[in-house]
Amino acid sequence: QVQLQESGPGLMKPSQTLSLTCTVSGGSIIRGGYYWTWIRQHPGKGLEWIGYIYYSGSTYYNPSLKGRIIMSVDTSNNQFSLNLSSVTAADTAVYYCARVRDMIRAFDFWSPGTMVTVSS
Amino acid sequence: DIQMTQSPSSLSTSVGDRVTITCQASQDIRNYLNWYQQKPGKAPKLLIYDASNLETGVPSRFSGSGSATDFTLTISSLQAEDIATYYCQQYDDLPWTFGQGTKVEIK
């Protein structure tokens, strides 16, 4: 059974860079047929897809985040990461990492989620 | 971006009732639609993929239908454990987008 667990700071100040890491267990991140992705959920709101990375390093970022995103993958540690720069209060959200099954582009395994608060 | 609009935004119903949630896409997305269930404080869970295929382990009271722009998620007989918010998600075009969610509550 694949499991994902994110790690990162819970509290940040405006203008800082948010760095989150997702550790995958129960399956290899380099197994073909899957993308690795980030989704966030603002308090009391719906889901916003941030983007994905493939184990090869190819990426797609949601244009709504206006060039503030960098994703990376660490195949030796079975991890992938999200960097979100110049955070503001609008980036306060629960952040999830998830696996995407390529053929159906569905998020089939999710992390529990981590709350990130941006406040001065 | 493709806009996904769910209706209703919330509903209150009784155990045993049939529940229908609709999802409308702003353009033709073929059958490239998935449904998720999110319980309070938990991560979403995949229920239905490709509009009508039940994910492994999901109870058969859940079903999906539709194509092009109009889709439906049906719970044939609501159980207490189905209290959650339900989201549709399209993957016909990037960026992948979600509906705003439908909250299902018990009367």
Query: How far A40 CA sits from the closest chain B CA (Å)?
Result: 10
Residues in CB range of B90: below 8 A, 6 or more apart? B2, B4, B25, B29, B32, B33, B96, B97
Whether A103 has a pLDDT exceeding 90, the answer reads: no
What residues of A are in the B interface, CB distance below 8 Å?
Answer: 46-49, 51, 60, 62-64, 96, 98, 101, 104-108, 110-113
**A vs B: CB pairs below 8 A:** 58
- pLDDT for the residue A66: 76
Residue A7: CB atoms within 10 A of its CB come to 14
3-state secondary structure B14-40: CCCCCEEEEEEECCCCCCCEEEEEECC
Q: Band of the pLDDT at A61, cuts 50, 70, 90?
A: very high
Lookup result for tokens 């995407």: A100
- pLDDT for the residue B27: 98
- Contacts with B94 from chain A: Cβ below 8 Å: 60
Whether B33 has a pLDDT exceeding 80, the answer reads: yes
- pLDDT for the residue A31: 85
Cross-chain Cβ contact A106/B98 below 8 Å: no
- pLDDT for the residue B54: 98
Query: How far A99 CA sits from the closest chain B CA (Å)?
Result: 11
- Which site among B49, B55, B92 would you substitute to test the A interface, given the most A Cβ atoms closer than 10 Å to its Cβ? B49
Name the closest residue on chain A to residue B50, using Cα atoms: A104
Q: Which of B36, B55, B95 lies at the smallest CB-CB distance from A63?
A: B95
Q: Band of the pLDDT at A32, cuts 50, 70, 90?
A: confident
Cross-chain Cβ contact A104/B49 below 8 Å: yes
- Which site among A3, A48, A49 would you substitute to test the B interface, given the most B Cβ atoms closer than 10 Å to its Cβ? A49
- pLDDT for the residue A104: 87
Residues in CB range of A32: below 8 A, 6 or more apart? A55
- pLDDT for the residue B102: 98
- Tokens of residue B103, six digits: 């909250």
